Amino acid sequence: MGGLFAFLFLLSSTGLVFGLAQPQRVPFIGDRSRKRIAKAYGLPTAVFFILTAATGEPSEPPTVQESPSPQATPSLVESSPEPATTPEVSPSPEVAQFQFPQSTCGDSSGSDDDTWYPVFIDGADVAVVRQSFCADAVSTVRSETGNPTVQVASFTDADRAQRFARAVEGEVGQPSSPEPEPEPIAEVEPSPLPPPTPTVNPNAPVRAARQGSCDCPYDVDSAGRSCGGRSAYSRPGGSSPVCYERDR
């Protein structure tokens, strides 16, 4: 019965500390029990139980902390980090096909009837394009947009121009066809002018003079004299022969 009261007394934190520190003063405990308690528990155990009860964590017997092992002395020579290796990137088939940089790019002139497909890189630096791709690249202005650009090359085949544009990250411009030659103008000979119409004198006789009949004033009678006013043309009421051009 006395052991039960001693156990209940030790359940409290004050009783636990008191009983474990000085078990000889705990009532209802015989000398044999006091010796067992003092032998089994000590002040560190009591402190452990108090902290455990205060924090609410499960009670576990304290463990002896091991002294930390001495740290290894760092090496005086630091190992240099290995350089990072950059993975090799294989060029695209278009780039490998053209093998940049080149001294000149594009097709050479084949015939006057070829259609040309220019390749442009808009907004590029012509010096960089010449160094990276084609040494004969030129700065120009796009005719269809008016934007500054660099013409890298020109091709007579549309498919080849598209492959080249993908290789240099550019684009194909508007194709240009040769201008048709103007047809020669046929020389037109001037038509000949009509002959000038001869001017007719209204007083010119319509025929030559006749002898023996005095129809017209310029006729002559049988004696060879001019008829004049004696002619039928000159007498009023007579016949009206056609003697002059004005009479026609």
Which pLDDT belongs to residue 133? 93
Which ranges of the chain have pLDDT less than 70? Answer: 1-94, 110, 178-181, 238
pLDDT value of position 86: 47
State residue 213's pLDDT score: 81
> Domain residue spans in the chain?
2-55, 93-172, 204-248
User: Tokens for 124?
Assistant: 């590029």
The predicted pLDDT at position 230 comes to 86
CA 134 to CA 152: how far, in whole Å?
Answer: 7
- For residue 99, the model assigns a pLDDT of 86
Distance of CA 110 to the CA centre of its chain: 28
pLDDT for the residue numbered 23: 54
Q: Which of 10, 73, 80, 75 is closest to 46 using CA atoms?
A: 10
Q: What is the CB neighbour count within 10 angstroms for residue 103?
A: 8
pLDDT at res. 158:
92
pTM assigned to the model: 0.39
